[in-house]
């Protein structure tokens, strides 16, 4: 195992493609390679439109790795037919992740079914779905990465709202099968997040007699680390109002240090959904992302 902790943080920077969604996949691969990035986070829809195998080859040929695939999930349907369809779709997502060579499939759990007020029940259906999918994914070298989303999405998008909840669910499974996504945009407001990041690190911080750290023995529950800043006012629908790094209220460096301390040594993805970035020149946006990353994260 390479000691990636010694590499500069910049080498771990990955661009989630939705940050510069005006780029086609070839533009993305080319733009990221030219900027010296080593990784990209991809989304299923553009990958499927381009062709999964072709996308895998394109990215590989550009010298990039796929750091995560977004996204599976939407597990909360109570209706059996919908539930079977969701599980089938998630198996397809696992296969796409494997074909892209990423070990990380990001899961957005889903909101309340129409007319339901049963948050606890919906959360249990997420656990049931993880139990069905985790072994299937593990056989294909893919780890499920459960993402807690900001509580403002609890009704219509994700009933898993805090890192504590995500860990409660993930810990029912082996750490190498189910991890969590730490996204600063979703978690920054929570005064318990520092404690929960330490919990996610598990045995990390200790050093064994053979000189290995706990993190090398017991993998961190952190499967992905994503960055975006929190800016206001929020737009209608609250989906596309994320801020460029440094433009908002999130202490990004504090998060990065806590995630480091939890033993996470993987990619750091910048994932910003904001039409003001999409209307600009992609290369210019990526240059700004790198500059902001250096000022606010490293």
CB of 250 to a copy of itself, least distance (A): 7
CB of 58 to a copy of itself, least distance (A): 35
Question: What is the x/- site pattern for a copy of itself, positions 115-154, by CB under 8 A?
Answer: -xxxxx--x--------------------------xxx-x
Query: Whose Cβ is closer to a copy of itself: residue 112's or residue 222's?
Result: 112
Stretch that binds a copy of itself, among 15-23, 68-76, 160-168, 260-268 (CB under 8 A): 160-168
> Any contact of residue 257 with a copy of itself (CB under 8 A)?
no
Stretch that binds a copy of itself, among 71-79, 131-139, 161-169, 268-276 (CB under 8 A): 161-169
Query: Whose Cβ is closer to a copy of itself: residue 26's or residue 121's?
Result: 121
Exactly one of 2, 45, 233, 279 binds a copy of itself (CB under 8 A); that residue is: 233
Name the packing angle between helices 80-100 and 52-61 (round to 10°).
30
Contact 112, 122 (CB under 8 A): yes
Pairing of strands 242-243, 229-230: antiparallel
Cα separation, 67 vs 100, in Å, equals: 9
Q: Using the Cα atoms of residue 206, residue 207, residue 208 and residue 213 in order, give the sign of their dihedral.
A: positive
> Any contact of residue 293 with a copy of itself (CB under 8 A)?
no
Cα separation, 28 vs 170, in Å, equals: 32
- DSSP letter for 184, please: H
For 51: left if phi > 0, alpha if psi spans -120 to 50, otherwise beta; the answer is left
Name the packing angle between helices 119-139 and 163-170 (round to 10°).
50
| Beta strand segments in the chain, E | 13-16, 39-43, 65-73, 104-108, 143-146, 178-183, 222-227, 229-230, 242-243, 268-270
Query: Whose Cβ is closer to a copy of itself: residue 141's or residue 189's?
Result: 189
> Any contact of residue 242 with a copy of itself (CB under 8 A)?
no
> Interaction with a copy of itself in 40-59: which residues (CB under 8 A)?
none
| Interface contacts to a copy of itself, rule CB under 8 A | 112, 116-120, 123, 150-152, 154-156, 161-162, 165, 188-191, 230-238, 248-251, 254
């Amino acid at each position: 195992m390479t000691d990636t902790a010694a590499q500069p943080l910049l080498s771990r920077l990955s661009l989630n493609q939705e940050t510069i969604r005006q780029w086609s996949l070839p533009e993305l691969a080319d733009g990221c390679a030219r900027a010296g990035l080593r990784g990209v986070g991809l989304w299923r829809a553009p990958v499927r439109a381009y062709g999964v195998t072709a996308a895998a080859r394109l990215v590989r040929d550009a010298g990039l790795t796929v750091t995560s695939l977004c996204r599976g999930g939407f597990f909360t349907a109570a209706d059996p037919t919908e539930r079977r369809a969701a599980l089938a779709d998630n198996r397809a997502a696992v296969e796409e992740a494997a074909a892209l060579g990423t070990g990380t499939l990001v899961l957005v759990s889903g909101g309340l079914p129409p007319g339901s007020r049963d948050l606890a029940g919906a959360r249990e259906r997420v656990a049931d779905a993880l139990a069905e999918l985790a072994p299937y994914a593990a056989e294909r070298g893919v780890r499920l990465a459960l993402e807690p989303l900001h509580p403002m999405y609890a009704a219509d998008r994700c009933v898993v709202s805090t890192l504590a909840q995500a860990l409660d669910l993930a810990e029912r499974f082996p750490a190498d099968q189910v991890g969590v996504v730490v996204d600063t945009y979703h978690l920054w407001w929570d005064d318990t997040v520092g404690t929960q990041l330490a919990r996610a690190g598990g045995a990390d911080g200790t050093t064994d007699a053979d000189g290995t750290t706990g993190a090398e023995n017991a993998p961190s529950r952190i499967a992905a680390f994503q960055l975006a800043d929190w800016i206001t006012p929020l737009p209608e629908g609250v989906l596309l109002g994320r801020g460029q790094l440094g433009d908002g209220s999130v202490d990004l460096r504090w998060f990065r240090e806590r995630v480091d301390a939890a033993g996470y040594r993987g990619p750091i993805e910048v994932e910003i959904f904001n039409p003001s970035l999409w209307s600009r020149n992609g290369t210019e946006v990526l240059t700004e992302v790198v500059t902001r990353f250096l000022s606010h994260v490293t």
